[in-house]
Amino acid sequence: MQVGPLAQVLVGYQANHALTKKWTNKALSIINSLSPRAIGVNDLQSTMGRMVSRAIRSAVIAELAVKHWQLLVDNIASGDTDIYNEPVFPVGEVRGVGFHEAPRGALSHWAVIRDGKIANYQAVVPTTWNAGPRDEKNQKGPYEASLIDNPVADPEQPLEVLRTVHSFDPCLACAVHTVDMHGNPIATVRTLDGQQVNCEV
């Protein structure tokens, strides 16, 4: 599965979602007024299509931002100021899943709660869908598959590879790097299993 603004635009377009149709048609009309090649909705299934889909999604949700601001103001004006319903956790096990269509695509958090405490927690994030490598059947993931047959004019400057990878808007576990210019250890930390490790980079 590929997730992200492209998936959302294709789903919305096919489902006749009014805002998605309006902004997709507008994008295709601007592109076709400037491009030497005719571009249709199916051409969006590509590196550049992911870039354009993100702009389409932005225009769609920008309109919805104003709508939801108005919904909030109207609801408050009707006299409703409620903001919270208290959760009560039962004895025993319950489980829940939270979905969100995040900027990089479909996100889900899965929680198992036992006697009011978390027993298991898993996050299935958009970049896991897209950047995940080969699966158990050895099929390539979306990043890997999308790179096949990409041109590379100069292997020393693989700009074209970056175009395709960047088009997914990758988001992985991040870190802060501290580097000593002369390669000396900066700090020593103790890991959970008791080893001492020098942190160099």
For residues 165-194, which are near other proteins according to CB under 8 A? 165-167, 169-175
User: In the complex with other proteins, which residue's Cβ is closer, 158 or 185?
Assistant: 158
What is the total count of residues that contact other proteins (CB under 8 A)?
142
Give pairs for 52-59: CB < 8 Å, separation 24+: 52/27, 53/4, 53/5, 53/6, 53/8, 53/9, 53/10, 54/4, 54/5, 54/169, 55/27, 56/5, 56/9, 56/20, 56/23, 56/24, 56/27, 57/5, 57/8, 57/9, 59/23, 59/26
Residues 48-87 that bind other proteins (CB under 8 A): 48-52, 54-69, 71-73, 75-76, 80-87
Min dist CB 182 to other proteins, Å, is 22
Pairing mode of beta strands 117-124, 105-114 = antiparallel
Q: Least distance in Å: CB of 191 to other proteins? A: 12
- Among the listed residues 92, 151, 183, 194, the single contact to other proteins using CB under 8 A: 151
Contacting residue, 21, 22, 35, 183, with other proteins by CB under 8 A:
35
Question: Does the protein bind other proteins through residue 22 (CB under 8 A)?
Answer: no
Q: Which is nearer to other proteins, 135 or 187 (CB)?
A: 135
Least separation, in Å, of the C-beta of 138 and other proteins? 8
Give whole-number Cα distances, 69 to 66, 72, 95, in Å. 5, 5, 32
